[in-house]
Amino acid sequence: MAKIDLVKAVAELEEDLVLAGVKEQCAEGVPALEILGQLQQGMEQVGKLYEAGDYYLSELIMSAEVFSNAAALLGSALTGDGGSKAVGTMVLGTVKDDIHDIGKNIVSTILSCNGFKVVDVGVDVPIETFVEAVKTHKPQVVGLCCLLTTAFDVMKETVAAVKAADPSATVLVGGGPVDENVAKYCGADGYCKNAYDAVELSKKAAGIN
């Protein structure tokens, strides 16, 4: 039987094939992080298809679901060293007046797979909720997602409030219309173009690599 091309299967939203491919590679002893990398490549292709107008929001939502289910199969393998201590903590949420959660959920899944404890405070999150979560969980990283340009001002206020609550926390921002300039405008410490940037910058903030 031909080996399942995981990247292609994810890009084509073939959930059964993706899950079968993940199980197949796990059985062959392929490292979980390597399998995750293939899933992420597939997600990148989905993103390109979406940007090109070949996929719509429904496909984007479906791809996130396929990815989450496949990553869940890897969950135990990725954290399979007897519940090792998390490498860091991130408080993550979509800012007030914005209800988008696809990007946030993908970031949450990928960060969890990379050993982070993710405290997901949800969507349309009031500034006070972020501040409370920061005081309670003392994260090294706070991630703010935003897919609406109209929410930039509230994102700026949220960054200021989080930094006032805990000056040592690294605040990262990301989402469709967000770029370096928006990150500067909001006073954030970093801009994440995608979930992989979020992993790299979060590791840096947590003092790994």
Residue-wise pLDDT tens digits, 23-81: 999 999 998 878 988 988 888 788 788 878 898 878 887 888 888 888 888 866 665 44
d(CA 162, CA 24): 44
Pick from 7-11, 43-47, 88-92, 184-188: least confident: 43-47
- Asked whether the whole model's pTM tops 0.85, one would answer no
Q: Which two tokens stand for residue 7?
A: 């990247």
What dotted CATH number matches 88-205? 3.40.50.280
Identify the pLDDT of residue 81. Answer: 46
Q: What percent of the chain has pLDDT over 90?
A: 56
Q: Which CATH superfamily, name and number, covers 6-78?
A: Methionine synthase domain (1.10.1240.10)
Which of 64-74 are b and which e, b meaning 16 or more Cβ less than 10 Å from the residue's Cβ? bebbeebbebb
Residue 162 three-state SS: helix
Q: How far apart are CA 65 and CA 161, in angstroms?
A: 33
Question: 6-78 and 88-205 share one CATH topology?
Answer: no
Q: Where are the domains of the chain?
A: 6-78, 88-205
Tokens of 111: 């960060």
pLDDT of residue 181: 97
By percentage, how much of the chain surpasses pLDDT 70?
93
Average pLDDT over residues 79-98: 78
